[in-house]
Chain A
Amino acid sequence: MAGIVISGVSRTFGTVRAVDNVDLEVEEGEFFTLLGPSGCGKTTLLRMIAGFCELDSGEIRFGEKRIDRLPAHTRDIGMVFQNYAVFPNLTVDGNVAYGLKARRLPAAEIGRKVADALALVRLDGYGERWPHQLSGGQLQRVAIARALAIHPQVLLFDEPLSNLDARLRVSMRGEIRDLQKALGITAIYVTHDQEEAMAVSDRIALMQNGKLEQVGAPADIYRHPTSRFAAEFMGTTNILQGGALRPEALRLAADAPAAWPRLAGTVERVEMLGPITRADIRLADGTMLRMATLDAPQLGLAAGDAVALAYDPARLTVLP
């Protein structure tokens, strides 16, 4: 197990700077997420760490050891892919044992480690099955067990949940997070889903155009974005007086502390989503604000109503 140090890493494809002079340090045992829209360079950076993409410049270290010139198969990495990449010609046991056999471990030890890894992902007893007999969620568990079985220095996740349905995504991300924390293996996780990133990560690096836009703990990036891009990518954002304001920092004036600044507007649209209600409110100067509030029995918003709003001035983040 080791931390990861990425320094001055760049890669150009044709005229596109896919990864542009990135510096990053990931702590030992940390769950670190590369987040960004498609084409931002997050996957390229992950594939550089894995050894599937060459660096034009810069270097990558695991702890003290420089690895960016090593062949991919000698880097001691457990990787989990978006489309599972479970070998269809091997059983579940064969898949999980694959990396252990490559390391020429004794058969008895392989058997034990395979059983342990399958138990970790709650697939005990599935060893004899063939991949085509499993569901998507089970396949991804096999892929995770296969990556964990070799006790790698580093775990890499390349959008591992994007092919699963919404409910399964939520439960699997919790399991991945718990496993990583229990085993203490440094993990880098790539996703374009900011909610998923915030749910699993110790820290997030938000990327755009091959560069790091902002690095920090999930709450930190959400509450204190340093750019309009960061603000808008992390969630719905109102731009007010040159600052960013989250929808939940707005309240109806009647429910707000007296010290909060007031605004007057007209309700244009209301979306009742169950636990929360969202409303679009147009101010007199034409600005549109998006408000979110927890559902409550007395809440009576309707399109066309004139409303008085208030916002928490402490949560207005000034953007550069």
Chain B
Amino acid sequence: MTLAIPHNQRLPLAIAALGFLFLGLFLLYPLFNVFGASLLDPDGERLTFANYVKVLGRPFYRGAIANTLGIGIAATVITTLLAVPLAFALARLPIPGKGALLALAATPLVLPSFVSAYAIVLLLGRSGIVTQWLQSWGIGFGSIYGGGGIVLVYVLTLYPYVLLPTLAAFKSVDVSMEEAAQGLGSSPGRTVRTVTLPIVLPAVLAGALLVFIETLENFGVPFVLAEDLPIFAVEAFKLFIGETAPNPASAGVLGVLLILTTTLVLLVQRRFLSKRRFATNARKTPPLLRIGTGLRIAATAYCWLIVLLALVPFFAIVVLSFMEFRGPVLHPNFSLANFGFLFDRALRPLGNTLLFASLAALLATLVGVPVGYVVTRWRNGVATVLDVVATLPFAVAGTVLAIGFVVSFNAGFLVLTGGPLILVLAYTVRKIPFAVRSASAIVHQIDPSLEEASISLGRSPLQTLLRIVVPLMLGGIVSGIVLTWVTVASELSATVVLYSGPWRTLTVVMFQSLEGGGAGIATAAASTLIVVTLVPIALLHRLVRRYELA
């Protein structure tokens, strides 16, 4: 007696069941508990909105909401205004060094943004190097602490989110449309405005909303730069960790509000984009436009300025890490003392970072690839729900997920707090949307008839998945593992809530030295992190080139 499930539905159903089990336990259950904490009275017995009334009734938290949204909108608008012309220049104008520009422009995506924020403090902060140098010439400037500095760091670290999709869109515009417009008597300028820009608009908006969501969720940058300015993710963290009286209920309220905001933004984006599909299947990339020398110099300067400016903070951190610090005071002598302090105390944090990143990257791939396969190939209600659930972590700030983990797994049937596994699982859940998205994108490119051919030749669906689909996905899977690995290595927002004693990571060491004023160790940790991030990416580039993967 077999189950009454059609034979060709069994494999996807089994994968979906495992996916739901994992995401149910490590995503929905913790989130449910965050909602629960926010909705229960102090005795934990009755449902109440009192916590919401209390938190929203305080001007301090209303201010936090306003600040977060205001900074997010400002950063998104400025990023878009800078990145769209940059994308256009890289796609359509003759700019020298385009290959290098493109490689450099993508790097801020994998470098930790709070390191950039910290570098800005070291350079332009109250006792910053540039600040003091300018002061010695009698030049002063406004404070980089607070909203302005945060927006600056967001713009410099998040602009690739708009640049990369917009660039791809500009390159896929079918030239014949522009030619048609010009044939109808439209000037080149008007053609760009009335034909090209509307075609790339969905890509611009998709990128801009990613930027907005990142700013809402970011913990590290405001933690370094906000000072007294209340910011959502930071206040949720303070309420939960609270040195005086931990307050999970109020932290839960902030967490829920944050999730609702990001979910709303995502829904708006989906709705808007689903109505606008201007994908034009260009057979070849559009040709470069001819422009005068003056314009060309200006465009070149613009591109290099933005791309290099974004990398200056990271470069500065690496340089500073090789200088001598006495307490927070910098002395311009070459020294390896910072690394000495960092690794002398323990190599363990570095080891933890490498171990956790490897485990989380593997686990996220193991869950994400089959789930990505199922949501792409199996078009029905179950697959749609699975897709939505697997995308959900994207709308959940690391801090909030981590709070859910602590509330859920510090007692009861599964105790994880205090151990290393809770970090690995939180990282995995956070990276699953990326693993699923990238797997799904590769599966889209694999012709389904290859799988049908394999099945008709006598291989079962599971064998077909392992022998045909996985080998064909291999290049993409390897890239996905490396990208996940790299972003996990510099994860901060969930880590600071979940780490314990011996399981500190490099980011925690840096975070603690920021609080303690150990600037030397912080710079050493930061530049170690940069190396840990860039080396795998460089190796991946070589691998891709050698084997023509991806």
Q: Which A positions have Cβ atoms within 8 angstroms of B?
A: 50-52, 54, 69-79, 81-83, 85-89, 98-99, 102-103, 143, 146-147, 150, 156
Contact yes or no, B7 A81, CB < 8 A: no
Contact yes or no, A89 B468, CB < 8 A: yes
Contact yes or no, A77 B471, CB < 8 A: no
Partner of B457, one of A51, A70, A83, A102: A102
Contact yes or no, A72 B455, CB < 8 A: yes
CA of A150 to CA of B453, assembled, Å: 13
20 A-B residue pairs with Cβ-Cβ distance under 8 Å, sorted by A, are: A50-B452, A52-B8, A54-B8, A70-B7, A72-B8, A73-B455, A73-B456, A73-B458, A73-B459, A73-B464, A81-B449, A81-B452, A81-B453, A85-B450, A87-B454, A87-B468, A98-B454, A102-B457, A102-B459, A103-B458
A84 to chain B, nearest CB (A): 8
Q: B461 an interface residue at 8 Å Cβ cutoff?
A: yes
B446 to chain A, nearest CB (A): 9
Interface of chain A, helix or strand or loop or mixed?
loop
CA of A81 to CA of B447, assembled, Å: 11
Contact yes or no, B7 A71, CB < 8 A: yes
Q: Which B residues, 412 to 453, have Cβ-Cβ distances below 8 Å to chain A?
A: 447, 449-450, 452-453
Chain B residues near A52 (CB-CB < 8 A): 8, 452, 455
CB 8 Å contact bits of B149-164 with A (1 = contact, 0 = none): 0000000000000000
CA of A108 to CA of B456, assembled, Å: 23
Contact yes or no, B456 A78, CB < 8 A: yes
Closest 9 CB pairs of A and B: A99-B457, A102-B458, A71-B7, A85-B453, A85-B449, A79-B456, A81-B449, A73-B455, A89-B471
Contact yes or no, B7 A72, CB < 8 A: yes
Known: A85-B450, A89-B471, A89-B472. A77 touches B456 (CB 8 A): yes
Chain B residues near A143 (CB-CB < 8 A): 453
B136 to chain A, nearest CB (A): 64
CA of A156 to CA of B454, assembled, Å: 14
Partner of B449, one of A54, A83, A99, A150: A83
Q: B460 an interface residue at 8 Å Cβ cutoff?
A: yes
CA of A99 to CA of B457, assembled, Å: 5
CA of A146 to CA of B447, assembled, Å: 18
B320 to chain A, nearest CB (A): 48
Chain A residues near B450 (CB-CB < 8 A): 85, 87
Chain B residues near A51 (CB-CB < 8 A): 7-8, 455-456
Chain B residues near A87 (CB-CB < 8 A): 450, 453-454, 468
Q: Which B residues, 461 to 513, have Cβ-Cβ distances below 8 Å to chain A?
A: 461, 463-464, 468, 471-472
**Which among B8, B456, B458 has the highest number of chain A CB atoms within 10 Å?**
B456
Please name 8 further chain A to chain B contacts, defined as beta carbons within 8 Å, in addition to the given A72-B456, A81-B452, A88-B472, sorted by A numbering: A51-B456, A72-B8, A73-B459, A73-B460, A85-B450, A89-B468, A102-B457, A102-B459
Chain A residues near B464 (CB-CB < 8 A): 73
Chain B residues near A81 (CB-CB < 8 A): 449, 452-453
Q: Which B residues, 222 to 237, have Cβ-Cβ distances below 8 Å to chain A?
A: none
CA of A81 to CA of B450, assembled, Å: 9
Q: B59 an interface residue at 8 Å Cβ cutoff?
A: no
B465 to chain A, nearest CB (A): 12
Q: B6 an interface residue at 8 Å Cβ cutoff?
A: yes
Known: A52-B8, A54-B6, A71-B7. A85 touches B452 (CB 8 A): yes
A57 to chain B, nearest CB (A): 14
Known: A73-B455, A73-B456, A99-B457. A85 touches B447 (CB 8 A): yes
Chain A residues near B453 (CB-CB < 8 A): 79, 81, 85-87, 143, 146
Contact yes or no, A73 B452, CB < 8 A: no
Chain B residues near A99 (CB-CB < 8 A): 457-458
Contact yes or no, A79 B472, CB < 8 A: no
CA of A276 to CA of B532, assembled, Å: 75
CA of A77 to CA of B456, assembled, Å: 6
Chain B residues near A74 (CB-CB < 8 A): 458
B299 to chain A, nearest CB (A): 38
**Which among A73, A81, A87, A156 has the highest number of chain B CB atoms within 10 Å?**
A73
B304 to chain A, nearest CB (A): 38
Known: A78-B456, A88-B472, A89-B471. A71 touches B449 (CB 8 A): no
**Which among A71, A72, A156 has the highest number of chain B CB atoms within 10 Å?**
A72
CA of A76 to CA of B459, assembled, Å: 11
CA of A74 to CA of B459, assembled, Å: 8
Partner of A79, one of B452, B459, B460: B452
B454 to chain A, nearest CB (A): 7
**Which among B6, B452, B453, B472 has the highest number of chain A CB atoms within 10 Å?**
B453
When C-beta atoms are compared, the residue in chain A nearest to B470 turns out to be A89
Contact yes or no, B468 A71, CB < 8 A: no
Known: A83-B447, A85-B449, A89-B472. A71 touches B8 (CB 8 A): yes
A69 to chain B, nearest CB (A): 8
A171 to chain B, nearest CB (A): 23
